[in-house]
Amino acid sequence: MSHLGTLISALIDGELAGAELDRANAHLAGCDVCRTEAAQLRRLKRELSALGEFDAADDAVTRRLLAMTHQNGPVMARPLPRQRGRRARRRRGRYVMWSAMSIVVVGVGAAAFGMGGSPSGSNEPQITPQLEVFDLQHAITSGDVPFADPSSTRLPTPPTPPTPPKAAKRTSLKASLRASAEATRP
């Protein structure tokens, strides 16, 4: 009777499947030698696995202890909160700077707005337009008769002409213009 041989480790590792797994299990049921070998292999595998877990934990603990015993170890843990504070201060400084600039700009703008409100300085002359002079100049340049002083040119109080013409009556401009236009229109 031949034994499982190398198939035992494959069986223990769970690498067999299907008909091969059935054949291996059937053989183990009837063969004490292979069953014993399989049991030993399983135990060995369990022990190896336990060793591996311990090593990993032990390595973590070792690294932690090394870190605690390092010369700058405790100091190394503090930079994070310190950097955060510096950044915050920088940000606060930036806020202050922008606030100061805004205050300056708004202040200067408000001052300019206030100073620009008065259209004239206190030393600017107060003027009453010399209408008669201007009207005559306008008449000369435009080639038309000058209007007289302002109070004499309003329709509600029309002046009395030396020879009353039709157009000087108290009529609307449109009516008077139409009437005279019809009389002379070609």
Partner 1 sequence: MRRHLGLLVSAVVTVTIPGVLAVLAILGHEHAVSATDAVSATSVADEGAVGPLPVAPAGTNLAVRNSVAGVQRTSGSPVTVFSDVAASQQAFAMHLLGLAATAGQATSYQGVEVTSQSGVDGNVTVVSQVWHQGGGLTLVRTPSGATPVVSYDTGDRSPAGVFGVTSAQVSLLGKHYVAAYRGVGTSSGRPASIIEVYRFDGSLAARFWLDARTLVPLRREDFDTADKMVSDELFTQVRFGPLTTPPAGAVTEGPALASSPESAWVTASSPAAVVASLANRGARLPGTLLAGLPLYAAASSGTGAGQVIDLEYSDGLSVISLFVQQGTLAPSMAGWQSVSLDGSRVYVSGHSVTWAGQGEVYTMIADAPPQTVAEAVSALPGGGQPGLVDRLGRGFDRLAHLVDPFA
Between residues 79 and 129, which has the closer beta carbon with respect to partner 1? 129
Question: Which region, judged by CB under 8 A, interacts with partner 1, from 20-28, 60-68, 73-81, 97-105?
Answer: 97-105
What is the smallest separation between the CB atom of 170 and partner 1, expressed in angstroms? 10
Q: How many residues bind partner 1, per CB under 8 A?
A: 73
Residue 82 CA to residue 10 CA, distance in Å, equals 57
Residues 6+ apart with CB under 8 A from 76: 70
Rounded to a whole number of angstroms, the distance between the first and last alpha carbons of the chain is 146
- Contact residues for 95 (Cβ-Cβ < 8 A; gap 6+): none
Assess contact for 16 and 10: CB atoms under 8 A.
Answer: yes
* Per-residue x/- track, 113-152, partner 1 (CB under 8 A): xxxxx-xxx--xxxxxxxxxxxxxxxxxxxxxxxxxxxxx
Minimum distance, C-beta of residue 107 to partner 1, in the bound complex (Å): 9
Q: Segment 154-183, which members bind partner 1 (CB under 8 A)?
A: 154-155, 158-163, 165-168, 172-174, 176-178, 180-181
Q: Is 82 in the site for partner 1 (CB under 8 A)?
A: no
